[in-house]
Amino acid sequence: MALSEEITLTPTLETSWRTPRLWRFAGYLAMLATVIVIGLPVYWTVSAAFKTTGEIYRLPVTWFPAEPTLANFPQAWNAAPFERYYLNSFLTTLGGMAAEVTLAIMSAYALAFLRFPRKQLVFLLLLAALMIPVEITIVPNYLTVARLGWINTYAGIIIPGAAIAYGTFLLRQAFLSLPYEVIEAARVDGAGHLRIMFNVVMPMAQPAIVTMALLSMVAKWNDFLWPLIVTNTTNMRTLPIGIFWLRNSEGLINWGVIMAGSLFLIIPVLIVFLMVQRYIVDGIAAGAVKG
Amino acid sequence: MLQKQTRHVTMRERREWLLFALLLGPNLFLFGLFTYWPLLYNFYLSFVSWNFLRPRKRFVWFENYAEVFSQPQFWTIVWNTAIFALFSVGLTLLIGLALALLLNQPLRYRNGARAVLFSPVIMSGAVVAVVWSYIFDPRYGLIDQLLGLIGLSSPNWLGDPAWAMPAVIMVYVWKNLGYAVVIYLAGLQGIPRELYDAARVDGAAPWDRFWHVTLPGLSPVAFFLSVTSILATFQAFDIIKVLTNGGPVIATTTLIFHLYDLGFVSYNAGEAGVIAIVLFAIMLILTIIQLRYLEQRVAYS
């Protein structure tokens, strides 16, 4: 594929060796420019996190920290209860993800392999939920959660967002594309539905489940609107809410500390992303092109 | 004998129905409670006058609607929402297409470049906005530095009503560009190789191949992207909340921000309900357009 592309670029004799090289050079240059434009803000954050306050507010601004310092990190850590934010973010992310994955697997299995009168109608009911964005439900859901006494609780953060339509849809597709003979063989061997779900379907559909879980994890970790609404004590804030309040209180005073605090949140996601990049990117692309 | 067999099947079927209900029940129950019920409740709320920190509610028919639609600021907010959607989506789709075509070339390190491009997508919008509020600092920020290189000085991005919306759009595009690139790349890989070969045999120049093979081949993906991206801009809250808080004045207040503001700053459940319904109606229409289009595509292929 790569080779044929080059060959087609050499129709005339005199440019036969020059054009592709020039093109390639331009291509690399454009790629480099893109990476710089996208990467520069992140670099700026990192470099500010290592600058002293004096240096940040000195003109002309420096591109590299002149006197690199680590002081911003402990200062950020102490400016807000970050250990509590981490705990809250970990618990709500893991809880939310576990709930979504479990519900999606259960629902997808039922929709893919079980008989039920008017099954299509049930499926539509689930799909239609995709058309109702979370954002328009905030006031009624706040009232419901308040009535349940769930304000400032993990349940209040996790449960209203636990139902899952898109993931169910993706997993149902994945389950339906599994080789039917294997499932049939397990059934002939006398395995019940729950055993087939745990021992046959789930292992075979593992890539789809992992992708779904990762997408759900990223979404929960970054969620902002709902945790902002449903928490009002410092101790129940998740990391994004915590950073937001840190910026509001620390504000235009100490950018180095704020940038260090931002890295507390970005670094874990970036590490996870670089490790499992393929799952996330391919999963998103597959969902779009099929859907 | 025959009767016995049918009864046996029904028993098994009944058990399957029960299992189906048990497996799907929790998901559907949660959707009922936290998705469908709120939608209906919003309709009800839009007809009452209610500060929801207090118990007293009053049924007022269409007063909330009249109140919302008669405020000139509402129409400014609708305009803001449209401008934000149009420019964010337009820029994302155009730049995204160019970058996807670039990364579709056989260049080394292109997977690395794709990872860099995609990484803002998985970052928290709130943190991205915090970082950019420093970048936009008119005296000590990155943009002022870059503009300084070519002898310009930075506008007061977040404090000037004329510049706040462009700033929000810039951050939004920066954050979401990678998503469009990944989807375009998947679309490019889905265009059958034979079409290019056939075009080449017919003597089509690279530009013609782009115009007559690549672009038509990408159109379904571009359509998908434009609808989903527009829908996403209607839901964009974190960047606006953190970067500008809807201001200065209401220069960057969009419908979703207005909904939050009415609900959780003014505690005005009735008017928030009206905005929720307006937002839902707009998004529903867009989704239906998309489904119609998908149906057509399925019918033709």
Residues of B whose CB is below 8 A from A211 = none
Return the SS3 of B49. Answer: strand
pLDDT of residue A18 exceeding 70, the answer is no
**Overall CATH class of domain B73-300:** mainly alpha
Interchain pair B30, A103: CB under 8 A: yes
* Residue bearing tokens 């994890």: A217
The model's pTM is 0.88
**Are residues B95 and B173 in contact, defined by beta-carbon separation less than 8 angstroms?**
yes
- The size of the A-B interface in CB pairs under 8 A is 281
CATH superfamily, domain at A74-290: MetI-like (1.10.3720.10)
Output the pLDDT for position A1. Answer: 36
Residues of A whose CB is below 8 A from B264 = 138, 142, 229
DSSP structural state of residue B268 = B
For chain A, what are the domain ranges?
2-72, 74-290
DSSP string, chain A: -HHHHHHHT--SSTTTTHHHHHHHHHHHHHHHHHHHHHHHHHHHHHHHHTS-HHHHTSSSPPSS-SS--STHHHHHHHHTTHHHHHHHHHHHHHHHHHHHHHHHHHHHHHHHH---TTHHHHHHHHHHGGGS-GGGGHHHHHHHHHHTT-TTSHHHHHGGG---SHHHHHHHHHHHTS-HHHHHHHHHTT--HHHIIIIIIHHHTHHHHHHHHHHHHHHHHH--HHHHHH--SGGG--HHHHHHHHHHHHGGG-HHHHHHHHHHHHHHHHHHHHHHHHHHHHHHHHHHHH-
Cross-chain CB nearest to A56 (options B140, B231, B259): B140
Q: Which structure tokens are listed for A231?
A: 């928490």
Interchain pair A133, B19: CB under 8 A: no
**Are residues A130 and A250 in contact, defined by beta-carbon separation less than 8 angstroms?**
no
Band of pLDDT at residue B40, cut at 50, 70 and 90? very high
Question: Which of A1-15, A185-199, A250-264, B210-224 comes out lowest in average pLDDT?
Answer: A1-15
pLDDT of residue B75 exceeding 90, the answer is yes
What's the gap in Å between the CA of A244 and the closest CA on chain B? 7
- Reported ipTM: 0.87
Q: Which chain A residue's Cα is nearest to B20?
A: A110
Interchain pair B131, A244: CB under 8 A: no
Output the pLDDT for position B5. Answer: 53
For chain B, what are the domain ranges?
73-300
Band of pLDDT at residue B12, cut at 50, 70 and 90? confident
- What single letter denotes the amino acid at residue A264? F
Q: Convert the pLDDT of each residue in A240-265 to its tens digit.
A: 999 898 888 765 568 888 888 889 88
Residues of B whose CB is below 8 A from A259 = 131, 134
Q: Convert the pLDDT of each residue in A185-240 to its tens digit.
A: 888 888 888 888 898 889 888 888 988 898 899 899 999 999 999 998 888 999 99
Output the pLDDT for position A252. Answer: 54
Q: Phi/psi at B173 (nearest 5 deg)?
A: -65, -45
Band of pLDDT at residue A283, cut at 50, 70 and 90? confident
| Of the candidates B14, B24, B30, the residue with the CA atom closest to the CA atom of residue A117 | B14
Question: Which of A75-79, A229-233, B25-29 comes out lowest in average pLDDT?
Answer: A75-79
Cross-chain CB nearest to A240 (options B113, B124, B134): B124
Q: Which structure tokens are listed for B265?
A: 């700053």
Cross-chain CB nearest to A106 (options B23, B130, B256): B23
Q: Which residue has the higher pLDDT, B190 or B41?
A: B41
Residues of B whose CB is below 8 A from A164 = 27
